[in-house]
Amino acid sequence: MKLWAIYFEPEDWVAFKENRRFSASDRVESRFPSPFPFYGALRTALMKNWGIKLPYGKMAQLTTEEQEIIGDAQNAGKLRLFGPFIFEYDSPDGNTFRHYFPAPKNIYRVKIGNERTYKTMPLIKVDNQDKKFLCDDDLNLNCLPWIPEFEGAEEADESYIELKDLENLHCGMTFKLSKPKISVESRFGIGIEKGIKRAARHLLYTLTFYRFNRGGFFMLTEDEETVDLICKVRIEGVFLGSKQRWAKVYMKELETAALDLSTSGENTAISLITPALLDGGIAPASGKVGQTEIVAIAGSKKVAVSGWDMVNSKPKPIYHAAGPGTVYYLKGIPSNESSLNSKLKDFGFGRFISMKWESFKGEE
């Protein structure tokens, strides 16, 4: 697949604010920032290039043509990107790039002596009375991801997979997980009502700081119109995230088969690399990806997706999405699909990679 990577390399640190609810019933977590700040930064750069004034807390005055390009809170406009993901490089010239994606949650590690091997969980069939333990949602699943080893098996403590290893996983070859050199720090904040020293109702948020040595975030696109739009205005940098930190922007072509749909073998598993807002919660309500049945799910935990509305100076709505790394084992191969049928699909929600899966030894 031919892709273009749009890199956002912060000068120092970059932070993102998210609206959050804090209660025992909220089984959600957040690791990557949402795509909205990156869309907002590029949109702002485009409007600045067009000479449009950007009043704080107000909508910019746009023509119909400009509005079609920029889009709005529910429509991505002519910009079609998905991510963000993490990149880093070793040398100042930036020729040795490494691209990191969320690791599938069905990967575990086997340690024998000093050697570590990474594997994906095979499936084992379960009895009808055990199906209720497989997923929070009301799905008719009949298989369970399983770790067959009794000795040496352990949970992988790495959360990322580099592009070359992702290609190996896609092809059924030996792979490993990685830890990029990134520092992440989260802080909690409480909004205060104006003129009154008390907390504003429903205004709790997290502020997550990311610090890179040599690297940053990148977004991906396969849309040539998006590439032409970014190249035409020659965006060299943007103000990104909370506190409006400066990030250098540049673009490179990226050729990889890792995001192609796997067609080898009868059984395919897909792993989310971006959150998915699905009608059934953690999975499609139909229990299918397209016309292909889901038989098992690994890593079924939701993430909170939100942001800060700069125009109206208030938190955006909270969405509880199926998180990156969630793996859906399918009975067959989905037909020519690159993303799930997710809300906000235009913003890159629901994108996935694919791999083969096998039955537990002794299972058909």
Q: Which of 23-27, 144-148, 222-226, 230-234 has the lowest mean pLDDT?
A: 23-27
pLDDT digits (tens, 9 = 90+) for 261-294: 766 667 889 999 999 999 888 888 888 888 888 9
DSSP string over 138-166: -----EEE----SSSEEE----EEEHHHH
Higher pLDDT, 22 or 345: 345
Both structure tokens of 342: 């997710």
Please choose, from the candidates 151, 213, 217, the residue with its C-alpha nearest in 3D space to the C-alpha of residue 183. Answer: 213
* Residues 227, 3: Cα–Cα separation, whole Å: 10
Amino acid at residue number 197: K
The whole-model pTM stands at 0.87
Give the pLDDT mean for 60-67.
83
Give the pLDDT mean for 61-90.
88
pLDDT attached to residue 86: 95
DSSP string over 181-200: SEEEEEEEEEEE-TTSSSEE
Report the 10 Å Cβ neighbour count for 248.
Answer: 14
| Percent of the chain residues topping a pLDDT of 70 | 80
pLDDT digits (tens, 9 = 90+) for 130-150: 544 455 555 667 788 888 887
pLDDT attached to residue 188: 72
pLDDT attached to residue 202: 58
* Residues 139, 134: Cα–Cα separation, whole Å: 9
Cα-Cα-Cα-Cα torsion 217, 220, 226, 229, nearest 10 degrees, comes to: 30
Phi-psi domain of 325 (left: phi exceeds 0; alpha: psi -120 through 50; beta: other): left
Strand partners, 175: none
SS (H, E, C) 235-281: CCEEEECECCEEEEEEEEEEECCCCCCCCCCCCEEEEECCCEEECCE
Q: Which of 250-259, 305-314, 327-336 has the lowest mean pLDDT?
A: 305-314
